Amino acid sequence: DGGITQSPKYLFRKEGQNVTLSCEQNLNHDAMYWYRQDPGQGLRLIYYSQIVNDFQKGDIAEGYSVSREKKESFPLTVTSAQKNPTAFYLCASSRGTTSYEQYFGPGTRLTVT
Amino acid sequence: KQEVTQIPAALSVPEGENLVLNCSFTDSAIYNLQWFRQDPGKGLTSLLLIQSSQREQTSGRLNASLDKSSGRSTLYIAASQPGDSATYLCAVPWGGTALIFGKGTTLSVSS
């Protein structure tokens, strides 16, 4: 079955620790995205990548980093510089940007205490 | 910058009722508009994608319309069922990159 997988589903970390969220897709999509969802805020774009070895900052990139070494994978690292990291993180992919349908993974809920 | 608004924020209806969810956007220069469903604690499921050249798109009991000139889209759900209870989100691509989302309408259908 084609789709997007995110792991883990739940993640707990202590303040000051970096943590990496996994996102893998087998849809052969060129573009991949990371969004953050907070209650009452809607989804906001963190980073996106249109092609391997290239990525761009979204609206709220501060405190986050990404890599895109393989077409299938787009991991997100939440660093200790992120002030409010507790949130629901969603990964998405699409064939290309702009006019293509985006497909989402099941999400990772990160709790930092 | 593009802004997307969804009204109402929450809606409760009895089973069997037909209903309309609204989505408005401030800049009409969009390529398409996408409707999603989100169940609590889950990811987003794409329901319908309407290209800018289209007026309507249908899937089963769902019908989405798009009026670019007025900056509006509606999602019509026919004969609602308790299984339709979820949060519905609309989104438009912006800046050639990712999606701008509304905050969603949370629908509750009672049996």
Q: State the pLDDT at residue B95.
A: 75
C-beta separation of A49 from A32 below 8 A: yes
C-beta separation of A48 from A76 below 8 A: no
Please tell me which residue, B97 or B68, carries the higher pLDDT value: B68
Asked if residue A22 has pLDDT above 70, the reply is yes
Confidence of residue B46 (pLDDT cuts 50, 70, 90): very high
Residue position matching structure tokens 């990496």: A20
Are the beta carbons of B98 and A45 separated by less than 8 Å? yes
Chain B closest-CA separation from residue A80 CA (Å): 25
C-beta separation of A109 from B42 below 8 A: no
Asked if residue A98 has pLDDT above 80, the reply is no
Are the beta carbons of B103 and A58 separated by less than 8 Å? no
Q: List all residues 6 or more positions away from B41 whose beta carbon is below 8 Å from its beta carbon.
A: A88, A107, A109
A68-94 residue pLDDT tens: 999 999 999 999 999 999 999 999 999
Residue A8 forms contact with B (CB below 8 Å): no
In the DSSP assignment, the letter for residue B19 is E
Asked if residue B41 has pLDDT above 80, the reply is yes
* A58: chain B residues, CB-CB within 8 Å: 97-98
